[in-house]
Amino acid sequence: MVVLTLFGSLLFFLIVSVPIGISLGLASVLTIFVVNPISLEAFTQTMIQGLNSFPLMAVPLFTFAGDIMGKGGISRRLLDVTGIFFGGLKGGLGIIAVVTCLFFAAISGTGSATVAAIGCIMIPAMVKQNYDKVFSGALVATAGTVGVIIPPSVPMIVYAVAAGVSVSGMFMAGVLPGILVGVALSLYVYVQAKKNNYEGDPRTYTLKEAIKMIINAIPGFLVPVIILGGIYGGVFTPTEAAAVACVYGIFVSVFIYKEVKIQDLPYLAYNACLLAATVLVIIGVSAGFGRILTITQVPNTIADFILSITTNKIVILLLINALLLFVGTFMETNASIIILVPILLPVVTQLGVNPIQFGIIMILNLAIGFITPPLGANLFMACQISDIKFDSIAQKIIPFIVVMIFVLMLITFIPAISLWFPQFLNIRV
- HEC-encoded secondary structure of the chain: CHHHHHHHHHHHHHHCCCCHHHHHHHHHHHHHHHCCCCCHHHHHHHHHHHHCCHHHHHHHHHHHHHHHHHCCCHHHHHHHHHHHHHCCCCCHHHHHHHHHHHHHHHHHCCHHHHHHHHHHHHHHHHHHCCCCHHHHHHHHHHHHHHHHCCCCCHHHHHHHHHHCCCHHHHHHHCHHHHHHHHHHHHHHHHHHHHHHCCCCCCCCCCHHHHHHHHHHHHHHHHHHHHHHHHHHCCCCCHHHHHHHHHHHHHHHHHHHCCCCCHHHHHHHHHHHHHHHHHHHHHHHHHHHHHHHHHHCCHHHHHHHHHHHHCCCHHHHHHHHHHHHHHHHCCCCHHHHHHHHHHHHHHHHHHCCCCHHHHHHHHHHHHHHHHHCCCCCHHHHHHHHHHCCCHHHHHHHCHHHHHHHHHHHHHHHHCCHHHHHHHHHCCCCC
C-alpha dihedral sign at 275, 276, 282, 284: negative
CA distance 326 to 312: 21
pLDDT digits (tens, 9 = 90+) for 247-290: 888 888 888 888 888 888 888 888 878 777 777 787 788 778 87
- Identify the band that residue 110 occupies on the pLDDT scale cut at 50, 70 and 90: low
Reply yes or no on whether the pLDDT at 301 is more than 70.
Answer: yes
d(CA 197, CA 192): 8
Mean pLDDT, rounded, for 97-102:
84
Instruction: Read off the pLDDT band of 295 (50, 70, 90).
Output: confident
* Predicted confidence (pLDDT) at residue 127 exceeds the cutoff of 80: yes
Question: What is the average pLDDT value for the chain, to the nearest integer?
Answer: 83
Residues 367, 324: contact at Cβ < 8 Å? Answer: no
CB 148 within 8 A of CB 154: yes
Closest CA relative to residue 287, chosen from 11, 44, 13, 36:
44
In whole angstroms, give the CA distance from residue 102 to residue 98: 6
For residues 193 and 90, the answer to whether their CB atoms sit within 8 Å is yes
0.85 exceeded by pTM: no
Average pLDDT score over residue span 316-328: 88
**Predicted confidence (pLDDT) at residue 129 exceeds the cutoff of 70:** yes
Q: Return the minimum-mean-pLDDT range out of 44-48, 68-72, 164-168.
A: 68-72
Q: pLDDT class for 375, splitting at 50, 70, 90?
A: low
Distance of CA 395 to the CA centre of its chain: 23
**Whose CA is closest to 131, among 388, 401, 376, 405?**
388
Looking at residue 242, its pLDDT comes to: 81
For position 231, what pLDDT does the model report? 76
pLDDT band, very low/low/confident/very high, at 18 (cuts 50, 70, 90): confident
Q: Residue 410: CB partners within 8 Å, gap ≥ 6?
A: 180, 417
Q: What letter represents residue 393's amino acid?
A: I
d(CA 193, CA 134): 14
In this prediction, residue 123 has a pLDDT band, given cuts at 50, 70 and 90, of confident
Residue 419: the pLDDT is 94
pLDDT band at 418 (very low <50, low <70, confident <90, very high): very high
Chain center to CA of 285: 21
Does the pLDDT of residue 69 top 70, yes or no? yes
Whole-number percent of the chain with pLDDT over 90: 15
Q: Please check the confidence at residue 117 and state whether its pLDDT lies above 80.
A: no
- Residue in 47, 49, 40, 12 with CA at minimum distance from that of residue 27: 12
> What are the phi and psi torsion angles at 204 (to 5°)?
-120, 155
pLDDT band at 177 (very low <50, low <70, confident <90, very high): very high
Question: Is 80 exceeded by the pLDDT of residue 196?
Answer: yes
**Preceding omega of 19 cis (within 30 degrees of 0):** no
